[in-house]
Amino acid sequence: MAFFNRLSQSARNVAGTTVRVSTPIRHKASASAAAPKLVPDEYDGPLVKTQVPGPKTQELLQRMDNITRNTGTIQLFADYKASKGNFLVDVDGNRYLDCFNQISSVPLGYNHPALIQAVSSPDLATSMINRSALGVFPPGEYPGRMEEALLSIAPKGLECVQTMMCGSCSNENALKQTFLQYRTKARGGAMPTQEEYDSAMHNQLPGAPDLSILSFNGAFHGRTIGMLSLTHSKPIHKVDIPSLDWPASDFPALKYPLHQYEQENRVEEDRCLQMVRDKIAEYAAKGKPVAACIVEPVQAEGGDHHATPYFFIQLQKILKEAGAAFVVDEVQTGGGIAGTIWAHEQWNLPEAPDVVTFAKKLITGGYYYKPEFAPKLAYQVFNTWMGEPTKLIMLEAIVDTIKKDNLLEVVQNSGKIILSGLEELQAKYPQFLSRARGMGTFIAVDLSSPETAADIVTRGRKAGFILGTCGKQSLRLRPALIFQSQHAEMLLDELDHILSEL
């Protein structure tokens, strides 16, 4: 693994501010292997001109705080016109290698030519001006766009797809369909009775059935009221918000690298699977049967917890035996960052999950599902927008670029470089790093403490690198699909430098 040299780095002083200018020189082996840029006019590296946050950002932050009184999460104000490829530029002119990627939601980086071309089309302008309520007045081209943009990448075995606005509402409506299917099945396929219609209006049985959804400790499925009942990652998400009495099972706490701890990890996964069985039985006895289970391929917000294919195969089997739907939340892992379009492809399930939700890198929200989970009555799953037609115009260009530029291969290659590099750094700095893990470029490593994780993110930003955290003390990486080997080496070199200074 060849990192960048730091021999050519220098510091200079501008208007009393120390400016770090990085002009790294590659090792010869690395230089010869450098891939051509996927965004032709992309910057060569980070550039920090001011203190971070800079004066313009601080001024805008004060103005924003006067407006919202809710600015505690803002890190910088961006200049999106100047941003290119993997590099985000702020209003002070500082340039960052973005390894967190708007919380993993920008698939092709900033101002990708294919997307600029797509949004410059008259079709997009027409769609924006005449924003349609897709549930009642969709544009004539919408079915074709859904076929091209969504059905062309559908998970194997899932024939139906519904668009939504965001990840949380995708999960909400997907689970509504599992409730509808569960009750329809319980009635032998019959429609609701008049008694059920009447009692539903008063939130009472039998029209408002006492069903439950199983989730996992450490999970994150969104911030809407229903999804918060299934989210168990951070207290700040849930405190002061009423919650539904729904079961949560333990998610496996595995040792990494997985191939070195197969026996220990199998014991842990079997323990969690038994807990799933116990929770299903417990809630059935309480009169709150589990209608569905929702699970992330990797528990992202909770700390990038992984499980093996064995766990998910067995989980699907347990749910099938219990008559509960198997819902896979791919809001964060879907769209190629795992090295495959869908992370669950790597499990080799005997059959498709019942429902797969998505958002983030796929631009629009939504979910795929088996035909038997389709609503039986109009307006059971409905809202004004039911998605955003302009997003499918963009998604067509994204899907085409993924295929044309072999971006899944790019992700796989960069992921191997990052993960092996983190393992080297882990061996070099065992007092700070442990448990490097990932799939594709969906990667994390644990730090020695929450304070150390926060310090590394802060130091990285001051040096021109945007990083993220998750769980209690994990550093997480969520780059764009165009994050190449040269970007991976810039990142690893900077982490090496930061760790050497700690």
The catalytic residues are: 220, 329, 360, 384
Whole-angstrom distance, CA of residue 165 vs CA of residue 173: 11
**Which has the closest alpha carbon to 213: 240, 236, 182?**
182
- Residue 49, both tokens: 């001109």
Specify the pairing of strand 474-477 against strand 442-447. Answer: antiparallel
d(CA 440, CA 71): 33
Over the range 441-469, which residues count as b (16 or more CB within 10 Å of their CB) and which as e?
Answer: bbbbbbbeeeebbeebbebbbbbbbbbbb
Query: Rounded to whole angstroms, how far apart are CA atoms 75 and 61?
Result: 9
* Cα 418 from Cα 319, distance rounded (Å): 36
What gap in Å lies between CA 188 and CA 178, rounded to an integer? 15
Residue keyed to tokens 């797509």: 118
CA distances from 76 to 42, 87, 197 (A): 21, 14, 50
Residues 462/496, Cβ–Cβ less than 8 Å = no
User: CA-CA distances (angstroms) from residue 144 to 78, 140, 152, 367?
Assistant: 35, 8, 11, 17
Distances (CA, A) of 34 to 185, 188, 487, 488: 56, 61, 10, 11
